[in-house]
Amino acid sequence: MASVILKPGREKSLLRRHPWVFSGAVAAVNGEPQPGDTVEITASDGTVLARGAYSPHSQIMVRVWSFNQDEEINPAFFESRLERAIAYRGQMLKTKPRPAYRVVNAESDGLPGTIVDRYGNYLVCQFLAAGAERWRKEVVAGLERLLPVDGIYERSDPGVRDKEKLPPRTGLLSGKMPPGLISIEEGPCRFLVDIQHGHKTGFYLDQSDNRAAVAEYAEGLDVLNCFAYTGGFGIWALKAGAAKVTNVESSAPALELAQRHVDLNRLDKGKVENMEGDVFQLLRVFRGKTRQFDLIILDPPRFVLSQGHLNRASRGYKDINFLAFQLLRRGGVLFTFSCSGLMPPDLFQKIVADAALDAGRDAQIVRLLGQSWDHPTALNFPEGAYLKGLICRAW
């Protein structure tokens, strides 16, 4: 087996069982491993630390499969990891039943670069790193045995694959081709999911618990749902008795599906306003018209694409939160999120606090939010807690 030898003193993160080895920590590579091959990771003194997948084109040169140096990385290994992930979801679904949920959450489920989501009788897979790509057939075979469904579809099309020098790939992996739209239930709400062309794997499953949280506040309120996508937060708010929901989204097809969700859930169309456009610009238009809202939801896309983007992204988060505080009525509630893994939680909270200060508003944090239960975070991989949210009340 080829090996990756670390520079002196660079084994500390591995001793804490962090699953990433960055290229800057590597002193040498012994052998001629190919992308995705399993390599041993050794300290500078020759101590074997772990086994992982080699990715020479990525800044993350190795992603750890196992810290047990005797564990073979073979089809049985992947089936065992899948069994563990599926067992946890099965246990949780006994008390939180729902047809759409994350089955495998990459590093946090011990399968770096591998994501599997379930929508009814279909699974959607993403293989986002060289190691995941190398073992994709074995993962699919394991899913077929452990979680039989009508079909398994691949959505390995995010830009993160570019960093691994992997081409995008989508298409049917097993079983029947999924229909254009799959109907799912989430609590009292029904949604249509386009797993072939929608964002991520079709729906923002990580926000499931937070959509339900909106329902606790929405009754009788005038709600502004920014970066609305297909209107998930808005539907929950309307189901809870919101007086009105305004969805703002830049994608016309997403807004069309948001309107279909109003009909699907038999809600009053007169209580819904769908506005296509840039959120930053429309918030300024609302401010110019002195329009105000009782509850505002900010769920923007990932602003921080790399560490070098952090300052620019911080300005973006500051801008939209500043505008939101200006548009909130006294006593209004703000749900604000960052899905950028590189955005530290304390920095995000400071940005929101500074936005409230600049808007001349007093505000308090009512609750801290994160991703839903089917997106667990391994304790040795804090980067897995990428979704950060605050519920704030402002005066």
Q: How far is Cα 186 from Cα 233, in angstroms, rounded to an integer?
A: 11
Long-range contacts of 79-82 (CB under 8 A, 24+ apart): 79/138, 79/142, 79/145, 79/146, 81/109, 81/110, 81/111, 82/111, 82/139, 82/142, 82/143, 82/146, 82/147
Q: How far is Cα 386 from Cα 125, in angstroms, rounded to an integer?
A: 19
In 3-state terms, what secondary structure has residue 370? coil
In 3-state terms, what secondary structure has residue 42? strand
Q: How far is Cα 49 from Cα 43, in angstroms, rounded to an integer?
A: 7
Amino acid letter for position 237: A
For residues 4 and 29, the answer to whether their CB atoms sit within 8 Å is yes
Q: How far is Cα 241 from Cα 235, in angstroms, rounded to an integer?
A: 10
The Cβ of residue 243 has, within 10 Å, a number of other Cβ atoms equal to 14
Catalytic annotation present for 339: yes
For residues 166 and 185, the answer to whether their CB atoms sit within 8 Å is no
Here the tokens at position 92 are 């949780």
Residue found by looking up tokens 């069994």 in the block: 83
The conformational region for residue 229 under phi > 0 = left, psi -120 to 50 = alpha, else beta, is: left
φ and ψ at 186, to 5 degrees? Answer: -135, 100
Here the tokens at position 16 are 């804490």
For residues 104 and 111, the answer to whether their CB atoms sit within 8 Å is yes
The conformational region for residue 27 under phi > 0 = left, psi -120 to 50 = alpha, else beta, is: alpha
Determine the length of the chain: 395
Number of H helices, E strands in the chain: 10, 20
Alpha carbon dihedral 357, 359, 364, 367, in 10-degree steps, equals -110
Amino acid letter for position 242: A
Q: Which of 125, 189, 226, 339 is catalytic?
A: 339
Residues with active-site annotation: 339
